[in-house]
Structure formats: C-alpha cells, structure tokens
C-alpha cells in the first residue's frame, strides 16, 4: 500500500502540492485525473523518490521514503517502475537492449538474484511479445512511431516485473486506435503482474477504461476519489464536463 500524508511541494515560491493526502490500495489501478499543469506528474515523481517534498510523508509498504538516504531509497523503490510521458528510451540502444537494460545492471526484484544472459534474453522476448513488438528487437528507437515507443517502454517494465507501476500520461499524443491499444496493454500488464498501478492523465476515455478507482487532482490536493461509476456521478463542474464525453465508452475492468 502507498500512503501519502499532508504533502507539500513548491517551485520558486509557487505551491504545486498543497497538503495532498492519498491512499493507494495494493492490487488496484488508480487513475488520477486533472488538467494539464496541476502537478499530477510531480506527484508520481514523489512516489518513486525522484522528487523530495518540502514537507509531508510518502509511505511505501510502511516505509517513509521521504527522509531516506540514496542507498536506502533504492532498496525501497527497486520494486517500482515508471512509464514516462516521452517513453525515455535510450537512443543509442536497440529495443532489445532497452528492454533488458534494468536486468543487465540489477538483480531481479522478484528472485533477488542476478539473471544470466539467457534468462534476460527470454524475459526480454516474452515482454516484447506481450506488447506486440516481438519482431522489433533489433530496431532503434528513432525508427519507431510514438505508439511503438510507448509499447517498448512498457515492455521494459514488464521485463523486470515491478510490483508498483507508475504511468505518466500514457496516451498523450497518440491517435485513438493506438491509445486504445495502450489502454488494453495497461490492463493486460496489471493482470499479468498482479501489481499496483498509478496512472496520471487528463484522458477521461483512457481513465474510464482502465481504472478501479478514479481521483481528481485540483488545487494541489486530491478532491475526490471513488470507483468510476460513483465518481462520475459526483456533483462537480469538472466531473460534469468529463461525464459528457463518456457516451459509448466501454469499461475494460
């Protein structure tokens, strides 16, 4: 479980997080909605330890990571993975090398041992097959479309099987068909890994498809949080706007 308590973060005297509180249940897909620029990605970076809060607590499985040293932090977050908005692939490596990068340099989080080259190769091939890139292992990131880059980045997560997966705007900049493919992969990955997923987005169609619970991030706080069918009935102008866009959108959960 992830618990965030009274979290504050500012940049140049402008507060982005203003006493934010949130509990994320083990095994769920939580989607955090909000307009662009409200601090959704900042929240993800605090969960994975990239950013340090001005004050407040980020607790992962009972451990407050806010005050940990670098070595202690690594031990607490090595079972976490993040899909960045721009995919963050290494330009100088092909897709197979990108996918296996973590396992080449770290022990397997599940078995807590280093895998040999044959084991890593099999993990990589299985992950690429899962996202439909089984024939693309020799390709370079520059030759891939935006959707393929997102799928390759997702394969990199799948290969080392983290228990907590963070997604930063996974469908931004993608056409509707590719967005649907990414949504289906998020659900498939969740079912395969049995982990906990946190997604930040302003894409209500994607959120509605994948979420076990929806949360609204506004004014530096989580204003509402509820299962999708309850969330969409909340009497709030922002949610009323979202509700209008959901005709004929299926749930994938």
pLDDT by residue for the chain (253 residues), tens only, comes to 899 999 999 988 788 999 999 999 999 999 999 887 788 999 999 999 988 899 999 999 888 998 888 888 877 788 888 988 888 899 999 999 999 999 998 888 778 889 999 999 999 999 999 888 988 999 999 999 888 998 899 999 889 888 899 999 998 888 888 888 889 989 988 988 888 999 999 888 899 999 999 999 999 999 999 999 999 999 999 898 888 887 666 666 6
Query: Which residues are within 8 A (CB) of 245 and not within 5 positions of it... i.e. 6 or more apart?
Result: 204, 205
Residue 253 confidence (pLDDT): 64
163: its two tokens: 């228990």
The three-state DSSP-derived secondary structure of the chain is: CEEEEEEEEEECCEEEEEEEEEEECCCCEEEEECCCCCCHHHHHHHHCCCCCCCEEEEEECCEEHHHCCHHHHHHHHCCEEEECCCCCCCCCCCHHHHHHHHHHHCCCCCCCCCCCHHHHHHHHHHHHHHCCCCCCCCCCHHHCCHHHHHHHHHHHHHHHCCCEEEEECCCCCCCHHHHHHHHHHHHHHHHHHCCEEEEEECCHHHHHHHCCEEEEEECCEEEEEECHHHHCCCCCHHHHHHHHCCCCCCCCC
11: its two tokens: 């940049």
Enumerate domains of the chain plus CATH numbers: 1-79+210-253 (3.40.50.300)
The answer to whether 172 touches 147, Cβ cutoff 8 Å, is no
- CA–CA distance from 223 to each of 21, 33, 43, 236, 253 (Å)? 9, 10, 14, 10, 23
Q: Tell me the C-alpha distance between 197 and 58, whole Å.
A: 16
């Amino acid at each position: 479980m992830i618990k965030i308590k009274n979290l504050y973060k500012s940049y140049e005297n402008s507060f982005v997080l203003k006493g934010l509180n949130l509990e994320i249940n083990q095994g769920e897909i939580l989607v955090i909605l909000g307009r662009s620029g409200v601090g959704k990605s900042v929240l993800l970076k605090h969960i994975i330890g990239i950013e340090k809060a001005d004050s407040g607590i980020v607790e992962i499985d009972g451990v407050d990571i806010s005050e940990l040293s670098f070595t202690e932090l690594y031990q607490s977050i090595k079972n976490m993975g993040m899909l960045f908005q721009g995919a963050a692939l290494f330009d100088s490596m092909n897709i197979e090398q990108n996918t296996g990068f973590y396992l080449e340099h770290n022990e397997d989080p599940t078995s807590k041992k280093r895998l040999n080259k044959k084991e890593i190769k099999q993990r990589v091939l299985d992950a690429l097959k899962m996202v439909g890139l089984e024939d693309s292992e020799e390709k370079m990131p520059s030759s891939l479309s935006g959707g393929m880059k997102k799928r390759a980045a997702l394969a990199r997560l799948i290969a080392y099987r983290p228990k907590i997966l963070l997604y930063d705007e996974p469908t931004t900049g993608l056409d509707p068909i590719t967005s649907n493919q990414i949504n289906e992969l998020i659900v498939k990955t969740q079912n395969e890994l049995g982990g906990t997923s946190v997604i930040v987005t302003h894409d209500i169609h994607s959120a509605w498809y994948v979420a076990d619970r929806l949360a609204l991030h506004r004014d530096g706080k989580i204003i509402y949080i509820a299962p999708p069918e309850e969330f969409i009935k909340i009497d709030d102008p922002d949610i009323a706007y979202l509700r209008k866009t959901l005709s004929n959108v299926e749930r994938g959960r």
